[in-house]
Amino acid sequence: MKLLNCSSLQIEEFSGLSIPDSYAILSHRWEADHEEATYQDFGKPDVIARKKGWKKIQHFCRLALQQGYKYAWVDTCCINKQDFTELTEAINSMFKWYARSSFCYAYLSDVGVDGVSLQQSQWFTRGWTLQELIAPSRVEFFDKDWNYIGSRADLCDIIEQRTNIDMSILVAGSGRVEGLLTTIPVARRMSWASGRTTKREEDLAYCLLGVFGVKMPLLYGEGNRAFIRLQEEIIKETNDLSIFAWSAPTHSPLGYSGILAMSPSAFETANDVVLSSDIKYNPEYAITNKGLKITTETSLMPDGAHFLSLRCHRSSDPGRRHLGILLRDQGGNVFLRWKTGRLWSLEHSAPGINHTMFISKFLEPDVAETLVGDMNSVHRNAFCFPPTPPGVQFVKAHPDGMWSSSRRMFITQGLDTFDGYVQYRTSGAADQHFIVACGFTGGGANPWAAMDGDMMKLREIGSKRGVTKTKISFGKSSMKKLPRSVKQAKQMYPTVVEDSAP
């Protein structure tokens, strides 16, 4: 860790136990790059003296000395940004450095200019100043002329209103903030960054590493993929489902998206999200090369969508209705998020479907455009089954990875060959099992379907290629008939409503 000697104005380097226990730290909004004093400028007195940033450093060091601090840290000059290894280490350590500082001076260079007030300062719109506001145990604010404005503790009501940051964080004492952060839902912490910007797109992710207690390598040039990687790292550390409680327009005309958000701005309306239960009761989930894998219960909607509860609700909702997202089945147990412009909640609950899903991580804009045709043609080569009539119960489908419970069909688009079956059970005096088997070869050119009551004859049925109907209909099998008088049962679905957030 490099620190600035407040007396000599020279940079000194420390590591491990040699790092001073007490040092001051500067939080500020950068001037233009050529106006800031960098690590390379030290040792060039003629160059550094002409920079506006140097005057800022000098004034900061004088104040720090008056407060009894021998050393200080400034992000413009205490990191050698030409050394990428050092830059990576510094960004991954920065929250810890702020948290361990004794005093943070927040210099608001625009407050006092043309009547700009504290609440109007651009300092509150920068990505990096979020951790600089919440990590230190003590923060004090100064205007453009270094006149004292007040401390974070004194101004906590104004700051809370301006930033939506929890009061418990703003008034946290020394060494408490890191522990307190873990008690706040991921979505709510993300909302604190929703209105902030950074010069580099990737920094919107990197400036949040400490807020979520994760580390990751820097890859400048990857754009919003950095924010995707941040969410993946967070998922490795917590099973808080509120990380999916975001809402944003999608590039897909049909409203499809991946499960992960593309930027912190998607969490703008999550500032009042609270957990409905301890996350230890949440299902386990993980990122795989097929998407987010999760085994949990979903509720089936009348339009075939699945409602996935995120096990959180809005603090303003007296009914504590769970917020959730809508998913659509692509086949192969792969799902996409649907209607991403809002979060949703169930008007009334209903029995759910417990299954293992793979939810795509994200969709690139060009992929989203082609997805329209793919989703419209998902029925191609599919085997469709009718609702089960009274007296008949669905037991299982095989292979289950091809079965869409919401559409009651085997989604087989893209397969060259397919063989599957659905098992049913009749209830009543004569409780019997029967199966409907189906399949095709030649990429769907030779479909077949058949029904038999003997499960042991599945291989035999599989060889009967003469039946070509691919829209299965009870009572029309060539091998066995069910009573034609049986009427289809009316299916009851839960009702989903839009979340009330604006």
Phi first, then psi: what are they for 133, rounded to 5°?
Answer: -80, -40
C-beta separation of 346 from 307 below 8 A: yes
pTM of the model as a whole: 0.82
The per-residue pLDDT string of the chain (502 residues; one tens digit each, 9 = 90 and over) reads 999 999 999 999 999 999 999 999 999 999 888 999 999 999 898 999 999 999 999 999 999 999 999 999 999 999 999 999 999 999 999 999 999 999 999 999 999 988 889 999 999 999 999 999 999 999 999 999 999 999 999 999 999 999 999 999 999 877 789 999 999 999 999 999 999 999 999 999 999 999 999 999 999 999 999 999 999 999 999 999 999 999 998 766 678 899 999 999 999 999 999 999 999 999 999 999 999 999 999 998 888 899 999 999 999 999 999 999 999 988 788 999 999 999 999 877 666 889 999 999 988 766 555 555 555 555 667 888 888 888 888 888 888 878 887 778 888 877 888 888 888 888 765 678 888 888 888 777 778 887 765 444 444 433 333 333 345 544 433 333 332 222 222 233 455 566 766 5
Confidence at residue 135, expressed as pLDDT on a 0 to 100 scale = 97
Joined tokens for residue 89: 């280490």
C-beta separation of 315 from 271 below 8 A: no
Which of 35, 60, 61 is closest to 48 using CA atoms? 35
Give the integer Cα–Cα distance in Å for 408 and 484. Answer: 21
For residue 441, give the DSSP letter. S
C-beta separation of 316 from 272 below 8 A: yes
Cα torsion 316, 279, 129, 217: sign? negative
Confidence at residue 211, expressed as pLDDT on a 0 to 100 scale = 98
Give the integer Cα–Cα distance in Å for 138 and 141. Answer: 10
Which of 122, 159, 139, 121 is closest to 26 using CA atoms? 139
453's CB contacts (< 8 A; 6+ apart) are 432, 433, 434, 435, 480
User: Which residue shows structure tokens 């417990």?
Assistant: 354
C-beta separation of 216 from 237 below 8 A: no
% of the chain residues with pLDDT over 70 = 85
Give the integer Cα–Cα distance in Å for 300 and 77. Answer: 56
What average pLDDT does the chain have? 86
Confidence at residue 484, expressed as pLDDT on a 0 to 100 scale = 29
C-beta separation of 306 from 334 below 8 A: no
Confidence at residue 301, expressed as pLDDT on a 0 to 100 scale = 86
Give the integer Cα–Cα distance in Å for 437 and 451. Answer: 6
